[in-house]
Chain A
Amino acid sequence: MEYIKSSSPRAGVALLELNRPEKRNALNNATLQEIADRLQNLEADAAVKAVVIAGNLQCFAAGADLNELAQLDVVSIQQDQRPQLWKRIDEFSKPLIMAVNGYALGAGFELALHGDIVLTGDNAQFALPEIGLGMLPGAGGTQRLARLVGQQLAMRWAMTGEMIPAQTAMQHGISSQICPAGLTVQYALELAEKIAKQAPLAIRVIKQSLKSIHEVSLSQGLKQERQHFVWLAATQDRQEGISAFLEKRKPEFRGV
């Protein structure tokens, strides 16, 4: 527990800040493990409704740790624990917002792609530089990116390692907002707070529903959406939401 600063700057919101500035927040196994562990704790913490992950002003995360990677041969790489760690991050069920300033390269980019919503600073630069090392992105980089931006751009970016500036990233749906770098974390926290005030059970199924779009067919997805819809009808928060709207007051959601 040393590579990440954890805090809860706003009601219902947890902030995890990658904090290995001397290594440009490179995601070595220990850091990734820590992210997965922290998320697991936050998953269980009922007071936390949304999570923001950020780096620092110059760098979100500049890739995996090359020294660690260099030691892995074909046998040990098969027993590597990293895929499990990524899976645990992917399975986090609460809203996960990425506040990306500066470089998000390789594994750093892939971590950003694990976010449900990505905000970037105007200085953000994404890239998949693995190709320059004779490798390919190994944490969903080719898959998640292609699903977001299409095969053409994903091919190009994975095959060249070209830098993708903030403006291009937003144009192609990698992020939903560009902020002046000094305000990215603040705006991500404000967004998280806004989401934290919503009905938690509805937020949970919205995330599930949207995350499954690449797993299932449209008709299957529509069926699942309908099931979620019916399931929510049994919750008190739904009643509260509708009553509050009709009575012209603010709803008080309790997650039940």
Chain B
Amino acid sequence: MDYQTIIVEEKNAVGCLTFNRPKQLNSFNETMHQEVSSVMKAWAKDSAIRAVVISAEGRGFCAGQDLNDRVVDPNADAPDLGLSIEKYYNPLIKLITEMPKPVICAVNGVAAGAGANIALACDIVIAAQSASFIQAFCRLGLVPDSGGTWFLPRLVGRAQAMGLAMLGDKISAERAVQLGMIWQTVEDDALKAEAEKMAEHLAKQPTYGLSLIKKAINAAAHNNLNDQLILERDLQRLAGRSSDYKEGVQAFMQKRAPEYKGC
């Protein structure tokens, strides 16, 4: 399939989706939304894909919304910014968080606005040392969207979240790791290889079990301890019925490496 705004590769059970509008710092227009969403939807259902990597071409990761699509005529009625959020950004964030397999994000450069929050929605975020994150919304009179106001306080705590969202300062990838916003930084040249290595590792792991871990950790954000304990019991019940669990135990008893199938 031909894409105008992204590059799609499938190898070794890993789906690699690369934003490919480098001249516009990979900002989203409608075509890009449609292409990303159709690929992610297909991967969510495709049991042959057991890990997903989101990365980007060029010097930036993603600058959020392409503002050329949103030229504001001072004499016209106010635009409805909720429209594209409802139609594109919110479903995209749900596609990432509800994907029943790990989603890794490789942030190669600046991740601004919705671009930063799409990265934060992923399960494991790796950034190049020169990458940066900006909650640019406040500078234009807007609110962090694409889950920004939900992810930030949960990742970094209220105080840091407020600072990031109200000041809109650019923070380095290193600082993002210190704050607990992302998993790790790597040398710029090593980013692609590291992300792929991690994805290939995860693609050999018990995918169903990983999907249940994801479900549990995402649910923890709104559950109390009692509900979460019940959920852990339920998910462990399901995990215990998987063939990967059986294989894991057998491999351990037979002192060999397990071969997981993802179910």
- Separation of A179 and B233 alpha carbons in the complex (Å): 11
B10 interface hit (Cβ, 8 Å)? no
Chain B residues near A179 (CB-CB < 8 A): 234
B237 interface hit (Cβ, 8 Å)? yes
Q: Mark A179-199, 1 if CB is under 8 A from B, else 0.
A: 110110000000000000000
- Separation of A180 and B237 alpha carbons in the complex (Å): 10
Chain B residues near A180 (CB-CB < 8 A): 231, 234-235, 238
How many Cβ-Cβ contacts under 8 Å join chain A to chain B? 10
- Separation of A224 and B241 alpha carbons in the complex (Å): 48
Chain A residues near B238 (CB-CB < 8 A): 180, 182-183
Chain A residues near B231 (CB-CB < 8 A): 180
| Chain B contact residues: helix, strand, loop or mixed | helix
- Separation of A183 and B212 alpha carbons in the complex (Å): 13
- Separation of A180 and B234 alpha carbons in the complex (Å): 7
Chain B residues near A182 (CB-CB < 8 A): 238, 241
Chain B residues near A183 (CB-CB < 8 A): 234, 237-238
- Separation of A180 and B241 alpha carbons in the complex (Å): 14
Segment 28-69 of A: residues with Cβ below 8 Å from B: none
Chain B residue, CB-CB nearest to A182: B238
Q: Mark B34-63, 1 if CB is under 8 A from A, else 0.
A: 000000000000000000000000000000
Chain A residues near B237 (CB-CB < 8 A): 183
Q: Mark B128-143, 1 if CB is under 8 A from A, else 0.
A: 0000000000000000
Q: Mark A67-102, 1 if CB is under 8 A from B, else 0.
A: 000000000000000000000000000000000000
Chain A residue, CB-CB nearest to B234: A180
- Separation of A179 and B235 alpha carbons in the complex (Å): 10
- Separation of A180 and B208 alpha carbons in the complex (Å): 14
- Separation of A180 and B212 alpha carbons in the complex (Å): 10
- Separation of A183 and B231 alpha carbons in the complex (Å): 11
Segment 178-225 of A: residues with Cβ below 8 Å from B: 179-180, 182-183
- Separation of A155 and B63 alpha carbons in the complex (Å): 43
Q: Mark B161-197, 1 if CB is under 8 A from A, else 0.
A: 0000000000000000000000000000000000000
Segment 202-247 of B: residues with Cβ below 8 Å from A: 231, 234-235, 237-238, 241
- Separation of A182 and B236 alpha carbons in the complex (Å): 12
- Separation of A182 and B212 alpha carbons in the complex (Å): 12
Chain A residue, CB-CB nearest to B238: A182
- Separation of A155 and B56 alpha carbons in the complex (Å): 47
- Separation of A179 and B227 alpha carbons in the complex (Å): 11
- Separation of A183 and B237 alpha carbons in the complex (Å): 8
- Separation of A182 and B240 alpha carbons in the complex (Å): 12
- Separation of A180 and B233 alpha carbons in the complex (Å): 10
8 additional A-B residue pairs with CB within 8 Å, beyond A183-B234, A183-B237: A179-B234, A180-B231, A180-B234, A180-B235, A180-B238, A182-B238, A182-B241, A183-B238
List 10 interface pairs A-B (beta carbons < 8 Å), by A numbering: A179-B234, A180-B231, A180-B234, A180-B235, A180-B238, A182-B238, A182-B241, A183-B234, A183-B237, A183-B238
The 3 closest A-B pairs by CB, nearest first: A180-B234, A182-B238, A183-B234
